[in-house]
Amino acid sequence: MKNSFPQRVAVIGTGYVGLGTAGLLAHIGYQVTGIDIDPAKIAQLQRGEVPIHEPGLEGLLAGQEERLTWTTSYEAITEADVIFICVGTPPGPDGTPNLNYVTSAAASLAPFLNGHAQIIVNKSTVPIGTGDYVQRLLEDHSPNFDETRHRVVSNPEFLREGTALSDSLYPDRLVMGGHPDAVDYLARLYAPLIEQTFVPPAGTPRPDSYTRPAVVRTTLQSAEMIKYAANAFLALKISFANEIGGLCERVGADIQEVSTGIGFDGRIGHRFLQAGLGWGGSCFGKDTQGLISAGREHSYAMPILQAAIDVNYRQRQLVIDKLIRHLKSLKGKRITVLGMAFKPNTDDLRDAPAHDLIARLTQLGAVVTAHDPVAMPRASREWAHLTYTAAADAATALVRADAVIIATEWDEYVQLNWSELVGTMRRPLIIDARNILRDALPAQVEQIGREAAHYQPEQVLE
């Protein structure tokens, strides 16, 4: 393994992480085969269609057609020097990550391992100890397994949906955990990324201040823990901002000014201190629950993480409470929800706060209209169990609404002519759950962690 150099790559899984990994490695010069058991998804990719919304990804993949192939067959493993496992690990009912996709991928690739050096890289977010488990699965399912040639490395991803390309091409750190020989092998694969010798894609230029990523070489267990701990800490920061924001509302302070003030402390920083509707998506909730579950397995309580989760989901009810305080009963009221994806610049609906808002509003008797710039087609499939009317555009969604909730901070919503649009509402009430509105408006505006501006509408449309 020490004397060879990786040339061909296989990537198992074509979700956000898998597609980003495949596109990155093809761009820096490798022959990459993407593998997925979903024939429909592979057919899409073979037609040049990207099944997810991620800015810049479609252009990156389109520019690497000679280096990228897509298949449902695991036979590509026989030629691969490095095999990345990039499959989902959704939480189970008790918060424990479901490893079925990881174990299935490992068992499926194992028979195709052969006599040359191959390392298996786990990029999926997995519980501590999973790398050792995958190593055992390879031993059990591969007739050609050789522990000197076939090793498992943990190489967690730290991508943010919406900025995944930039995060992939210009990472702040690369974490690689496993046997030193296997880590060296993966580092050679990443050499163009570490040294930043590649030509940046046209749509994702290298930041002027960027130099190169830090490289963290460690054990399997530490690498797995680094991923969980990083996401849990960021989740803590968001929940802390929201908890302080709740007190700010009661004492007359402004959470945005408070966050700015404390963020100048270099030990704290400004990032992830935005109060609002709380986190969503596939990472923070799952990873904090995953750590709590790991602690439970080892009889170790983690009350700080549990409190972060409790505060986060309390924010969703807080928005409903603000609405009820103004409208009293919600029965028959027309409520507009702007934003369905859990964050802007993605169509990912996993654990999106808007889902819980729509479900609760409907339960309380409201008539819900919803809009999102990119996520509505996906919502029509994944949220078929919810009752709402999909609006063609944000302006239409506001017509004769009794209130609007801004649930996702899309730029499109920031740039709306709010002064004009509130005139089309039945009642000019805005619950700005992402604190994106800055200008005074002829409306009652409620934000998170800021004292609400008092406004008495001149008339109510009937």
At a CB cut-off of 8 Å and minimum separation 6, what does 458 contact? none
d(CA 279, CA 353): 8
71 closest CA partner among 117, 123, 109: 109
Q: State the Cα angle at 454 between 451 and 458, rounded to 5°.
A: 160
**Residue 135: φ, ψ to 5°:** -60, -40
Reduce the DSSP state of residue 411 to 3 states and report it.
Answer: helix
Nearest-angstrom CA–CA distance, 101 and 281: 19
DSSP single-letter state for residue 197: -
* 86 vs 121: CA distance, rounded Å: 9
86 is an active site residue: no
**Residue 215, Cβ density class (10 Å: 0-12 exposed, 13-18 middle, ≥19 buried):** middle
As a whole number of Å, the end-to-end CA separation of the chain is: 75
CA distance 25 to 32: 7
Question: To 10 degrees, what angle do helices 220-251 and 130-141 make?
Answer: 140
The values of phi and psi at residue 302, to 5°, are -130, 70
Total residues belonging to the chain: 462
Residues ≥6 apart with Cβ < 8 Å to 434: 276, 277, 339, 406, 407, 408, 409, 448
Q: Out of 25, 283, 320, 391, which one is annotated catalytic?
A: 283
Q: Which helix (H) or strand (E) is 119 found in, with range?
A: strand 118-122
Strand partners, 338: 371, 406
Residues with a catalytic annotation lie at 283
